Amino acid sequence: MTPDLDEPLDLFSQQERNRSRSRWLVVAFVLFFAWLGFGGDWIAYMSTREAAPEAYHHVTPWFGILLTTLGAGIATWSWVRGPRDVLWSTNAREVTDPADEDEQRLVNVVDEMAIASGLPRPRIWIVPDDDPNAFATGHDEHTAHIAVTDGLLRMLSRSELQAVIGHEMGHVKNLDVRLMTLLAAMVGAIALIGDGMWRVMRRSGRSRRGGLSLGGRGGKKGGNPLLLIALALWILSWILAPIITRLLAVSVSRRREYLADAMSAQFTRDPMALATALGRIEQATSPTSAIKKGCAHLCIVDPLGRRASIAGWLATHPPMALRVARLKAMAHRWERATEPAQSA
């Protein structure tokens, strides 16, 4: 379900919603790690409580303490270092003293869009990639960063570049950057930890050969049904965590792209400039190498979904054709609204 073109852009409601979602994202992230930790402790306790006296008995919930602390630490790190880590992962370089005409044009355009949006000028970065794309990151308007690729800078005209920067300034103004940067850092952390844990479980499974008892008494088969269910859910949580975070990125990103498109049109007063820019970016064929999977939802165009053979429901961005059609409809409405009244 996409928002209607006539939907009002309630900036303060959008900002408060993003603040609330950012808080809940951190809480859910830490609780998820707590479940993985203390859930594993409970399974280990139930599996070892009837073991022989000289065997290992899992009593201290060290796994839960460790993973909950790790989750809280990652959430804190994501908040403090998230924007820097996103930029570092793309090998971006900051533009402080423009080295050529293209960089000077970029600086000028960012200055103009900062004025149009009523925001402080964000720090400007260039990603060394021929694939045309752009993204914004940061905590708020005072700590915002905008990055564009070399390919985008070379490809777009001044008005098209202005429209793309306006789109990214829309994300900054709505505080989308806070939520989406937190999500980028946490998606990466869960993917990395999940991959490592899955390898450990596979290696452990090959070496144990049934070493754990699942609650059966006296060697009886079948075990404790509740324990079996908990174990299945626990393993499933590790397996599905990267997929769930990907779906979360999808749900977070899609609606915000429509809103940022509309705000770009407001800042530039030229919806067709963004429509043209999106069309040109969509037609690009250069492979993306600098922008990683965990940061795809930050970009103006999904660098993975654009050419990767994945289902549309897994794409972090709305269909490009629909975004362009909405911008063209907006331009048509504005043209009609500004036509001089015809005398009777």
Whether the Cβ atoms of residue 211 and residue 42 lie closer than 8 Å to each other: no
Alpha helices in 209-341 (DSSP H): 225-268, 271-283, 320-338
293 to 90, 129, 228: CA distances (angstroms)? 11, 15, 34
3-state secondary structure of 165: helix
Which sign, positive or negative, has the C-alpha torsion 282, 283, 289, 293?
positive
Whether the Cβ atoms of residue 181 and residue 137 lie closer than 8 Å to each other: yes
Question: Which pair of tokens denotes residue 159?
Answer: 């008005």
131 to 149, 240, 300: CA distances (angstroms)? 7, 30, 12
Core vs surface per residue 93-131: b (16+ CB within 10 A) or e: eebeeeeeeeeebbbebbebbbebbebebbbbbbbebbb
CA distance 23 to 29: 10
Whether the Cβ atoms of residue 181 and residue 147 lie closer than 8 Å to each other: no
Q: Which long-range contacts (CB under 8 A, 24 or more apart) does 320-327 make?
A: 320/278, 320/279, 320/282, 322/2, 323/257, 323/258, 323/261, 323/275, 323/278, 324/275, 324/278, 324/279, 326/5, 326/258, 326/261, 327/261, 327/265, 327/271, 327/272, 327/274, 327/275, 327/278
CA distance 246 to 1: 19
Whether the Cβ atoms of residue 215 and residue 227 lie closer than 8 Å to each other: yes
3-state secondary structure of 286: coil
Catalytic residues: 168
Question: Which pair of tokens denotes residue 78?
Answer: 């994501």
